[in-house]
Homo-oligomer: A and B are copies of this chain.
Amino acid sequence: MANVARVLVTTEVISVSDLAAAVRSNTAGAIVTFSGDVRDNDHGREVTSLEYEAHPSAQGLLEKVASEIAGRHDVLDVAVAHRHGPIPIGEAALIAAVSAKHRKAAFDACADLVDEVKAQIPIWKHQVFADGTDEWVNCA
């Protein structure tokens, strides 16, 4: 069974190299990372600012999701961090990192982890557009 190396819901900057380092070991042959960055556009509209809001349960639920991923794939270490609060364009909102002996398990587990975070973690995204309008993403 794999190890959950780090789980973080934070308003601080999160970094790919920190998460990659958290899952590194001499037995790991492959490390896959995902970084979900704040874009300056969404569906063709220019985004000027963006903020995430996290429910108080987000940290605990993220730990649960990370454990599920660690148990579901043939991997060694799993780490995931979600930033909330205002995030500047180009900076990361979500970073996931997975190490494994072999690369296919690392790719599969990292993609699965990102899917589960998006589906299961109570975090919301608010975008403000260049035309002054704003939206809560996924909330029609």
Binding site for B on A (CB under 8 A): 15-17, 20, 24-37, 39-41, 89-90, 101, 103-104, 106-107, 110-111, 114
Contacts and interface: CB of A to CB of B under 8 A. Distances in A.
Given A32-B32, A32-B34, A34-B32, A40 B27 contact: yes
A130 B85 CA distance: 51
Contacts of A17: 15-17, 20
A35 B31 contact: yes
Contacts of A34: 30-32, 103, 106-107
Given A20-B16, A110-B107, A28 B32 contact: no
A113 B38 CA distance: 25
A35 B97 CA distance: 11
Given A16-B16, A16-B17, A34-B30, A39 B111 contact: no
Contacts of A90: 24-26
B24 A30 contact: no
Contacts of A26: 39-40, 89-90
B31 A16 contact: yes
B37 A24 contact: yes
